[in-house]
Amino acid sequence: MICYNPFAFVPMVVTLTTAIVYLAIFIPVIVIHETVPSAPKNPTVYRGLNLTEAWLDLAELTNGYHPYNSRRNDEVRDWLLRRIAGILDHNRVQYSSESDPKSQLKEVSTVGQQAQEPTYPDHVESITLDHDELRARSSSPTAVIFNDLVANYTASALTKPGETKRRLGISTYFEGNNIIVYIRGAEDEEGEWWKSTKPSTKTKHGKGGVMVNAHFDSVSSGYGATDNGVGVITALQLVKYFTTEGNTPKRGVVALFNNGEEDGLYGAKAFLSHPMASFVHTFLNLEGAGGGGRSTMFRATDTEVARAYGKARHPFGTVVANDGFSLGVIRSETDYIVFRAEGYRGVDVAFWEPRSVYHTDEDDTKHTSIDSVWHMLSASVETMKYLTSRTNEFVGPRGDNDEKKVENGRGTPGVWFDLFGQVLAVFRLRSLFAWSLAILISSPLILILITLLLVRQDKYYLFSGEIEKEGLDDHVVSLQGWRGFSRFPITLIVSGAITTGAAFLLRKINPLIIYSSQYSVWAMSMSLFFCLFWFLMAGSNFVRPSALHRTYAFIWMFSIGWILLVAATVFEDRLKIGSSYMFVIYESAVFLATLIALCELFALPTKSSVVESSREEQENQAGIAAVPRSDALIYDGNSPNGHDESGAAEATETTPLFGGNNHRSAIGATFSRGYHRSTTANLDGAEDNSHGKHHAFGNEQTWSEKLPAWTWLLQFLLIGPFTLIIIGQVGLFLVAGLAQTGTDGSPLLLPYLAVALFSILLVLPITPFMHRVTHQIPTFLFLVFVGTLIYNLSAFPFSTNARYKAYFQQTVDLESGINRVYLIGLEEYIRDIISFVPSASGQTISCDKKPTIRDGVVFCSYEGPAPKVVDNVKDGVPPEKAFHDWLTYNVTRLEGQNKATFHISGLETKACIMRFDEPFSAFSVEGAAPSDGKWPDVPETGSDQIKLWHRDWNREWVVDVEWPVSDGKKPGEEGRNGRVVCLWSDHNYPGVIPALDEVKRYAPKWTSVVKSMDGLVEGSKPFVV
């Protein structure tokens, strides 16, 4: 076809346009997802920040494993105290340090000192407040360092509420040792108001302040660079920033360096008993749930605080993650939930991927980057500036109506998503709900109105069949308006089912290939759906061409989308789920495209005129047929049997002018008329050699010749680019978070289903135009599908860049000396790993499921080398000889009561556990703070564990325990039994845990070994009361 319109709905234009648009969107979306914005060359872009200094701090912080129960954790804590004091000294501010009711005030002289010249980026707004004025308040230090060695908390919680596998609680007593830095705001009260006993929070705390929180403990198997070293050095830099001249905040800043997050969010819970807790009204929580990359806004309590994060230079995040936590799809938690439950309003910013590095020995500075540090740091500065400067926001009655806390107003549920990591779209959930309702109500009414107008003008060709022309005996004209009606839903169902089936195939054959090869799975799924859809659509168009093909496709897309939008709107209203913004945007675009498709029909002639033209054409052809041809003068064409050679009966006045032996006329093409065309050409959309300004494409209905040739492009631009950006970003975000969760017991099928679903959603924008795409694209994609299918089914799923996680723990019976090494994970790979471990050679490896501890995995065990976590034997003496001294306890039973007192001591540990075979009903720990009702007591079903955490080494616990009286029994007639367990988590020195050293040394390169429980080693003794 010679095409004079570069926007015409013809194969070559459609193919090139759609290919260019898809590539132009997919390439930057993937690049942005995989890369991190570069850190500036100037390390002091913000006055008061120093990126180079932050990077050096990260190296110091991550110089060893530092879980709460380790000596290295104490060293990190001491370093933080020195570092904070050094920052305040450098900034020459007056500050005090408090670790008890008495405080020491430190004044810094500024005589003879010159402030460093500030530097600002063009768009950074400085807060100009006289620094000398702040330091002039002799009675009100600019900053206060709280060395909290007092706070503790006692609580109980059901481990799996609502599940029948475990209905008993786990109780905890924890002694915190957080570090809290208070930076006085320009509008904060003077004096040491936190020491006041006045009941009025307004008198004590004014308008409240903003907290930044970061836990400084790591897991026992990871150095904690991104979990949570980057968060800690970001908080340090924020302390430096807000105490730098010219950066004094309007509202006070609280920097919480909490200790004990990894084992149960303990540090954040202990903070809530500190006086500063009642001053906080908003917060920024910094975390790590991946190994680097971009930090993302995991969650936000409401629209208003989400806007604060939106001020970041490169915001990254979507409300889909927030809803994932709310619905329980994402099971891990951060300190955010502690602060949210307290009534604070804030955001949760964390690293998201790769999960294969999370909690491993690769979570170090070598495997993160200064770019990642800058991404979190720059976002945190802008977020905190917004929250501290908006003194007219976050005011008014609290959402929880707690008058003992500072007022922070009531937030509104929000919706947010980023666009190319450059801007964050934020709006209220009620706005989305109103938008959804508007589309649900108005869109079908508008389409019905357009339909009625088309019917009234006799131009509604959809669903038009045979029309009998008055005045023409037995003459019936078929407009073929039904042609193409059922293609889209059938094709969608078939293609979608096969694509989903491929997901099940991968789950069955190679269930973890997505762990290391996400894009291979994406390519397979998308190419499969595209090829299937193209083959069925192009084949249908080849057999029965239809000018209404595109219109019917949009009608089906709109109808299906409308039904889904009904469900999404219910979720928005009832469950406060904002993730439906994708479907609202999608349905809005499809509605507009469908509206254009219907409006196109106004350009067509009336159906009655088409029938009239058909009658005139038949009469003209009849007149032409009546004129004898030259060859008829020589041969009459009759055969000896009285019929012509074609086998047709002799024509009479009742014989139709054309169309065979029936009395019907078809307006358009038939398969018999075009059977001789090239199959490839037809699958490419049919040849079209007509060069007139208006003509029907190929062999489509002749009445379609006046359909606009360019409106398809407007439709594609409506449903294509923006929806591809939104859905593409969410798809990559979700799959990246899910792809590497299979090794920890999460459902293996879920990431494949997510890929299949988003593959379908990403291809859908092109499906109404699919029959015009030339065969080169699906041919190429078919080869892609074949190659990726073979790879995905046969490739080994792990590599040195995406290592399998095996969970480690060693248990020791301190009386018998027997130890068991547990490697936990998927049995196929765990047995393979154990086969490389020398000490396990020749042993019978037993693998059992323990769903009450961890679902979806098996616990494989063998006898390993004895641990040496307590150095109480001489060289050459087996450590088993000293096991008995590692843990001592004494139990005293109260006569005539179901009560007992335990005295428990452990060497070289700050953590022990009491495990009961049957539940207890109450407990108390000597030295515990009185209960204020903040934390739940032992649940009605009882608890069967008490976790005990000291802030100091080698201290004794004194625990009183009470258990219920059973039916038919009297107090004192029943006892309890169980085990006292102590934990050791320090793996900074070789030879301390030889079994772990051995596994890490001999395990395959595609394996990483991470901690399974609170302790790498558990030593226990039985007790009977």
Which residues are tagged catalytic?
A: 261
How far apart are the C-alpha atoms of 235 and 286, rounded to whole Å? 8
Give the three-state DSSP class for 357: coil
Residue at token pair 């007593």: 173
Phi and psi at 659, nearest 5°, equal: 110, 10
How far apart are the C-alpha atoms of 227 and 100, rounded to whole Å? 30
Q: Are 730 and 417 in contact (CB under 8 A)?
A: yes
Residue 645 CB burial class (10 angstroms; 0-12, 13-18, ≥19) = exposed
Q: Are 511 and 741 in contact (CB under 8 A)?
A: no
Residue at token pair 């040792």: 177
Whether the link from the prior residue into 228 is cis, omega within 30° of 0, is yes
Q: Are 367 and 753 in contact (CB under 8 A)?
A: no
Question: Rounded to an integer, what is the distance from CA 470 to the centroid of its chain?
Answer: 64
Q: Within 13 A of 754's CA, how many CA atoms are on the CB side?
A: 20
Dihedral angle sign, alpha carbons of residues 311, 316, 319, 321: negative
Phi and psi at 913, nearest 5°, equal: -135, 140
How far apart are the C-alpha atoms of 812 and 864, rounded to whole Å? 10
Give the three-state DSSP class for 847: strand
Strands (E), 863-986: 887-893, 899-906, 911-920, 922-925, 943-949, 957-962, 977-984
Give the three-state DSSP class for 511: coil
Give the three-state DSSP class for 534: helix
Residue 117 CB burial class (10 angstroms; 0-12, 13-18, ≥19) = exposed
How far apart are the C-alpha atoms of 1011 and 996, rounded to whole Å? 10
Taking alpha carbons only, the member of 982, 977, 983 closest to residue 1022 is 977
Q: What is the DSSP letter of 802?
A: B
Q: Are 120 and 138 in contact (CB under 8 A)?
A: no
How far apart are the C-alpha atoms of 883 and 810, rounded to whole Å? 14
How far apart are the C-alpha atoms of 828 and 748, rounded to whole Å? 14
How far apart are the C-alpha atoms of 208 and 188, rounded to whole Å? 8
The set of residues, in sequence order, having a beta carbon less than 8 Å from that of 879 and lying 6+ positions away, is: 866, 867, 868, 873
How far apart are the C-alpha atoms of 385 and 246, rounded to whole Å? 13
Phi and psi at 314, nearest 5°, equal: -135, 70
